[in-house]
A and B are shown apart, each in its own frame.
Chain A
Amino acid sequence: MKLGLGAATAASCVLALTFAAVPAFAQKQGGILKMYHRDSPASASIHEEATYSNNVPFMPVFNNLVFYKQDVAQNSLQSIVPELATDWAWSPDKTELTFNLRSGVKWHDGKPFSAKDVVCTFDMLRDKGTAKFRKNPRKTWYENVAEVTANGDAQVVFSLKRPQPALLALLASGYTPIYPCHVSPADMRTHPIGTGPFKFVSFKQNESITLTRNPDYWKPGLPHLDGMEFTIVPNRSNAILAFIAGKFDMTFPTEVTNPLLRDIKAQDPAAICEMVPTNVATNLIVNREKPPFDNEDVRLAMAMALDRKSFIDILFEGQADIGGTMQPPPEGFWGMPPDMLRTIPGYDPDVKKNREQARKLIEKAGYGPDKRLNIKVSTRNIAVYRDPAVILIDQLKEIYIDGELDVVETSNWFAKVARKDYAVGLNLTGNAVDDPDQSFYENYACNSERNYTQYCNKDLEKLFDQQSMETNIDKRRTLVWDIDKRLQEDVARPIIYHIRAGTCWQPQVKGVTVMVNSSYNGYRYEDLWLDK
């Protein structure tokens, strides 16, 4: 077997292990962390869902092979540390990734963890195993994985179709826990078994989720908490009021809006709050097969009519970010620098000038003040979609487009856009991992189920592969910027703004790190402790 352990990889592993081994002197043991949950998750199976409503309460039940270091706010390839793996190594041609696995780890039901569990998990994710997930939303993440094989009980090898250094970024996501072979996917939806710091106790729909400390956790001394209780409180104002009254130690992560955050600080000055980017982008989707949107000029005119700053000022009191597909820096690792962004049509801060050009384009397509284009702007019937859609309609009037709001019941939204049963829509796209491999393939690859606008550019897809194979981070970043710029210029899915949201906790909660470029990866909670 080829096993070329790169010096950098070894160094990062040693560094990570050193950090992992640092004993926790000051932390107090015990206590139940109480948090409200914003809604009732559809199931307890992280692999089958695509919302962080699942990750927050259920990530503490599991471990990954590798993981984003939980006290580093910015996720990147440099912040990945081993978890169920003890180390990893790339083959010289970067098509084989080998993990040595931790020994002595037990599942919560007492059975031993082994390489077979890793193989089972990735077989199910790639739809290859005998056991099947009911839904498999991240199957596309592993399309480059040809095979996952076990070498005995303590080693697994990922064989890739082509080099993909960023596979590690996907494996480190909160969306990639290792499941046990001996528990069926159906049972994992109702009673998850993991190897993580907390054991699952109960999940009562619309009521609560309870976890308890795993006394046999393989990390000695962790977790610090005796357990966690998530009370499901869908009414946000009640939840905030309860937090202010001290009923909860922590708000649901990245769910507090700017005005609510101000309320909390006014009524509970001791509360600690952070407002951070969430790597969720609000975007304009245009069905490029429906006339007149098959006309490139019409699509470009719409993109150029956007006044992004107005969106942000109205909806977020200035607390959101302008960027391309990749989350903008400094929190985002791969986003285009502001100078480059401004060169893209529609991103020039001079909105008046942009709109003049937009009007010329739409006039070229046959529309004008005497022949206005009537459209329906479809969006999901929840405030974070509806509110910007209303502003979008208002802004499109500037270029002779009269929009009518078409509010789609939330249960039908994705079915509708997947059927391409819309002309113009306003959508939100969340990125679980701040890495182009996730964003580009998922949202812009020709055959992706989530490519709602049917944008397909085979030449650009070759560049997707090229950046994915690039091992030099600086070179890769430059390539990613070029691709992102092309996507915006091609009006593939014009990004309007990147959302920021708040998290608050009471001063007795210690060890909180809010991730700044993903809302999906920071909830292992093994380092959290209560100073009570």
Chain B
Amino acid sequence: MAAYVTRRFLLMLVMLFGISVIIFILLRLVPGNIVDILFDAAGFVNPAEKAQIEHDLGLDQPIAVQYARWIGGLFNGDLGYSYISEKPALAEILPRVPITARLAGLALGFSILFGVPLGVISAVKQNTGLDYLLRIVSLSGLSMPAFWLGLLILMGFVAAFGTIPIYSAEPQTVWDALLMYSVPAAAVGFRSSALIMRLTRSSMLEVLRQDYIRTARSKGASDGTVNYHHALRNAILPVITVIGIEAAFLMGGLIVTETVFNIPGVARFLVEAIRGRDYPIVQNLVMFIAIIVVTVNFIVDLLYAAFDPRIKFAD
């Protein structure tokens, strides 16, 4: 187990290094840099001023030197400065992380809360009216684009309640925060819960046909015990994998939801930073998201053993 964990940890480091190189090079291959964008906003280009800014920002240095500076800074806890706001990158990124974390957490909670039980019910009540209804709902959740659903929700709120649930100021109380985040979380969670529901259903159907389920029933175990204790525990592994992937995705992939609901989270900030060629922000945010993704995957792998005692990590 210890060797497995060490091996996975070292693999994570290699992967993060690879990601750092790729993002660093890709960013610089995109046409136009921050200086072009600064002058674009000014509607003119002055070559002398442009060269001076490039020099000030270190963009006139060879790419390897720029990379070494960034990585060196990371090891010293220095993430550099945002080219656009001219504030420390850490000060720009940190306040946005809890915003996205709250949204992602609520969305994930919503999707698990609805996705898993409804998936079980759909499997247990296979080919009944309820199953068909749930399958239709889940299919619509998967096929409906998030931006469209978000817009429908916004328009519905304006028409029905005369208010609009978009982010305009930092919520001051937990209740305010819950109200603020619950609508976008439901919009995101709808898709995720549909995915989890369908996966739970198919996984459950496979397990429910196993001999040991028939044995449990013949022993007189109740439906609840059979479905949730025997069947779900064995069907949940692929669902855990998907939940892990969803959790990682939600930390960095909520661009549409954050845009539609005007939430100043990580994903929207990342897209704005890419558009502005704000290299320090993009590099550090991508690394942050990459760390989340590989860490969550690592945790999911470890959870397998906890949920299924048959799984052993060989040393």
Bound pair (A, B):
yes
Asked if B155 and A206 make an inter-chain contact with CB atoms under 8 angstroms apart, the answer reads no
A159 proximal to B (CB < 8 A): no
Q: Which residues 233-286 of B have a CB within 8 angstroms of A?
A: 259-260, 262, 264, 268-269, 272, 275-277
Q: Give complex CA distance A234, B166 in Å.
A: 12
B206 proximal to A (CB < 8 A): no
Tell me which of B43, B154, B162, B269 contacts A50 (CB under 8 A).
B43
Q: Give complex CA distance A234, B275 in Å.
A: 13
Tell me which of B37, B39, B42, B262 contacts A235 (CB under 8 A).
B262
Q: Which residues 380-415 of A have a CB within 8 angstroms of B?
A: 409-415
A residues near B166, Cβ cutoff 8 Å:
233, 238, 242, 247
Distance in Å: Cβ of A224 to nearest Cβ of chain B: 22
Distance in Å: Cβ of A214 to nearest Cβ of chain B: 22
The interface stretch among A78-86, A129-137, A352-360, A457-465 is A129-137
B residues near A234, Cβ cutoff 8 Å:
259
A residues near B53, Cβ cutoff 8 Å:
134-135
Q: Give complex CA distance A518, B297 in Å.
A: 55
Asked if A190 and B87 make an inter-chain contact with CB atoms under 8 angstroms apart, the answer reads yes
Q: Give complex CA distance A244, B155 in Å.
A: 10
Asked if B86 and A411 make an inter-chain contact with CB atoms under 8 angstroms apart, the answer reads no
Distance in Å: Cβ of B43 to nearest Cβ of chain A: 4
B121 proximal to A (CB < 8 A): no
How many interface residues does chain B have, given as a range?
A: 35 or more
- Encode B43-77 as 1/0 by CB contact (under 8 A) with A: 11110010011000000000000000000000000
Nearest residue (CB) in B for A127 is: B49
Asked if B169 and A208 make an inter-chain contact with CB atoms under 8 angstroms apart, the answer reads yes
Tell me which of A34, A231, A409 contacts B262 (CB under 8 A).
A231
Nearest residue (CB) in A for B278 is: A205
B15 proximal to A (CB < 8 A): no
Tell me which of A42, A189, A203, A205 contacts B41 (CB under 8 A).
A42
Tell me which of B32, B82, B168 contacts A242 (CB under 8 A).
B168
Tell me which of B40, B82, B164 contacts A414 (CB under 8 A).
B40
Q: Give complex CA distance A415, B169 in Å.
A: 36
B163 proximal to A (CB < 8 A): yes
B residues near A189, Cβ cutoff 8 Å:
86
Nearest residue (CB) in A for B87 is: A190
Q: Give complex CA distance A175, B4 in Å.
A: 63
Count of A-B residue pairs with CB < 8 Å: 125
B143 proximal to A (CB < 8 A): no
- Encode B222-241 as 1/0 by CB contact (under 8 A) with A: 00000000000000000000
B residues near A34, Cβ cutoff 8 Å:
168
Most chain B Cβ neighbours within 10 Å, of A206, A232, A241, A449: A206
Distance in Å: Cβ of A237 to nearest Cβ of chain B: 7
Q: Which residues 2-46 of B have a CB within 8 angstroms of A?
A: 31-32, 36-46
Asked if A135 and B272 make an inter-chain contact with CB atoms under 8 angstroms apart, the answer reads no
Distance in Å: Cβ of A351 to nearest Cβ of chain B: 31
**Residues of A within 8 A of B (CB-CB), count:** 46
Nearest residue (CB) in A for B158 is: A245
B residues near A186, Cβ cutoff 8 Å:
86
- Encode A435-466 as 1/0 by CB contact (under 8 A) with B: 00000000000000110000000000000000
Q: Give complex CA distance A235, B168 in Å.
A: 13
Asked if A235 and B259 make an inter-chain contact with CB atoms under 8 angstroms apart, the answer reads yes
Asked if B168 and A414 make an inter-chain contact with CB atoms under 8 angstroms apart, the answer reads no
A residues near B44, Cβ cutoff 8 Å:
50, 137, 414, 418, 449-450
B92 proximal to A (CB < 8 A): yes
A residues near B155, Cβ cutoff 8 Å:
241
Asked if B260 and A235 make an inter-chain contact with CB atoms under 8 angstroms apart, the answer reads yes
A12 proximal to B (CB < 8 A): no
Q: Give complex CA distance A247, B158 in Å.
A: 10
Q: Which residues 180-207 of B have a CB within 8 angstroms of A?
A: none
B84 proximal to A (CB < 8 A): yes
Asked if A190 and B86 make an inter-chain contact with CB atoms under 8 angstroms apart, the answer reads yes
B113 proximal to A (CB < 8 A): no
Nearest residue (CB) in A for B95 is: A204
Most chain B Cβ neighbours within 10 Å, of A42, A43, A205: A205
Contacts known (A40-B272, A247-B163); A449 close to B45, Cβ less than 8 A: yes
Contacts known (A190-B86, A229-B169, A411-B32); A135 close to B262, Cβ less than 8 A: no
Contacts known (A247-B163, A412-B32); A42 close to B84, Cβ less than 8 A: yes
Q: Give complex CA distance A233, B169 in Å.
A: 12
Asked if B38 and A134 make an inter-chain contact with CB atoms under 8 angstroms apart, the answer reads yes
Q: Which residues 230-257 of A have a CB within 8 angstroms of B?
A: 231-235, 237-238, 241-242, 244-247
Most chain A Cβ neighbours within 10 Å, of B41, B82, B151, B268: B41
B210 proximal to A (CB < 8 A): no
A residues near B169, Cβ cutoff 8 Å:
208, 229, 231
Contacts known (A49-B41, A50-B41, A137-B42); A205 close to B272, Cβ less than 8 A: yes
- Encode B142-164 as 1/0 by CB contact (under 8 A) with A: 00000000010011011000111
Distance in Å: Cβ of B159 to nearest Cβ of chain A: 9
Nearest residue (CB) in B for A380 is: B40
A91 proximal to B (CB < 8 A): no
A296 proximal to B (CB < 8 A): no
A51 proximal to B (CB < 8 A): yes
A residues near B162, Cβ cutoff 8 Å:
245-246
Asked if A411 and B85 make an inter-chain contact with CB atoms under 8 angstroms apart, the answer reads no
Nearest residue (CB) in B for A414 is: B40
Tell me which of A207, A235, A450 contacts B43 (CB under 8 A).
A450
Contacts known (A233-B166, A235-B259); A205 close to B32, Cβ less than 8 A: no
Q: Which residues 2-57 of A have a CB within 8 angstroms of B?
A: 34, 40, 42-43, 48-51
Most chain B Cβ neighbours within 10 Å, of A40, A207, A450: A207
Q: Give complex CA distance A48, B38 in Å.
A: 9
Q: Give complex CA distance A51, B163 in Å.
A: 31
Tell me which of A48, A190, A204, A207 contacts B42 (CB under 8 A).
A48
Contacts known (A235-B262, A414-B43); A136 close to B277, Cβ less than 8 A: no
Can you list 7 A-B contacts with CB-CB less than 8 angstroms, sorted by A residue number? Answer: A135-B46, A190-B86, A205-B85, A206-B268, A241-B154, A242-B164, A245-B158
**Top 7 A-B pairs ranked by shortest CB distance?**
A207-B264, A411-B32, A245-B164, A418-B45, A137-B42, A449-B44, A50-B42
Interface residues, chain B, with chain A CB atoms under 8 Å away: 31-32, 36-46, 49, 52-53, 82, 84-87, 92, 95, 151, 154-155, 157-158, 162-164, 166, 168-169, 259-260, 262, 264, 268-269, 272, 275-277
